[in-house]
A and B are shown apart, each in its own frame.
Chain A
Amino acid sequence: MNLALILQFTKQDFFERYSGSVLGALWAFIHPLVMIFIFVVIFANVMGTRLPGISSVYGYGVYLVAGLLPWMAFANTVSRCSSVFLEKRAVIGKVRVSLPYLPLYVLLSETVTFLIAFTIFMSFLVVTGHFPGKILILLPFVFLVQQVFAFGLGLFFGVLNVFLRDVKEMVGILLTFWFWLTPIVWVMDIVPAAVQAIQVAFNPAFLFIDAYHQIVVHQQVPDISGLMRLVVIAHLVLLAAYFLLKWLEKDVRDFL
């Protein structure tokens, strides 16, 4: 599939969200700015929420946003990829496009959205004196692995969604459960040791969310063995999704 076509879809997807509005793509900056302001400032100054082990008043807000932004990129990629074939059925019917590569535009578009939000978040950290420093060099790799995992899951559900439209709704519910089961809003210390062990062993989302927390909040090198495990899981899921799509490609095109 042509890379130029994917880039065109990405551009179209990103700008279509704000088409017709007076401020246009500026909304892509306003949304994260307001979200970061609410979570960090309101939680710290109005609600007085504190993070155990962190003396800063902004500790909990930083913890929350550091987990929430990557989760939103992950969840939006999975959820939007799972309906991409149905949304683009007109294009698939008219132009010969490679199905495994088509959802890449969703991944790229969500990456741009994440980069804008994260840049604003980093600017906020610089202003408040919480900038993580050179350890930040690790973040792009964590984000890439996370998005490979999201792409694999999205592709897998996308194939199933062509045959059973309920899959998209089920993915939404699954992501809501997954969000609350992952320590994004709550901290690991409040759950028993057994639950913590289950998180580490069986929750792939914990592996990348914890890496963000370690880098941004604690300014420490994350658990590399956990990230390596995530690399293997993410690529196995992607490989499984790819083979499922190749196996069912003819049926997918017929159903669309």
Chain B
Amino acid sequence: MILLLLALAALSALVAVAIRGVWRKGFGRAAAPMIIALSTVYFLLVFMIFEFFSPVLA
């Protein structure tokens, strides 16, 4: 459970920093699609983590 929380916190912090960077500096016209792409990858990874940890939660 602690491992799961740590993995989620680390991943969330990483993606938050990346999205903040894209938001503030921008990738020109591609900023919003970049944020969307980042968040898609984020969610897919989160659910993969949960799939991996599902015996812990069940």
Residues of A within 8 A of B (CB): 3, 100-101, 134-135, 137-138, 141, 144-145, 148, 220-221, 224, 227-228, 231-232, 235, 238-239, 242, 246
Contact = CB atoms under 8 A, between A and B. Distances in A.
Contacts of A144: 43
Main secondary structure, interface of B, reads helix
Contact of B57 (A101, A135, A238, A242): A135
Contacts, number: 54
Interface string B30-58: 00110011011001101110110010011
Interface of B: 1, 4-5, 8, 23, 29, 32-33, 36-37, 39-40, 43-44, 46-48, 50-51, 54, 57-58
10 contacts: A3-B23, A101-B32, A137-B5, A144-B43, A224-B48, A224-B50, A224-B51, A228-B47, A231-B40, A231-B44
Main secondary structure of the interface of A (DSSP, over half): helix
Contact of A242 (B32, B50, B51): B32
Given A3-B23, A235-B39, A141 B47 contact: yes
Given A137-B57, A138-B50, A239 B33 contact: yes
Contacts of B4: 137
B36 to A, nearest CB: 5
Contacts of A148: 39, 43
Contact of B43 (A100, A145, A221, A246): A145
A221 B36 contact: no
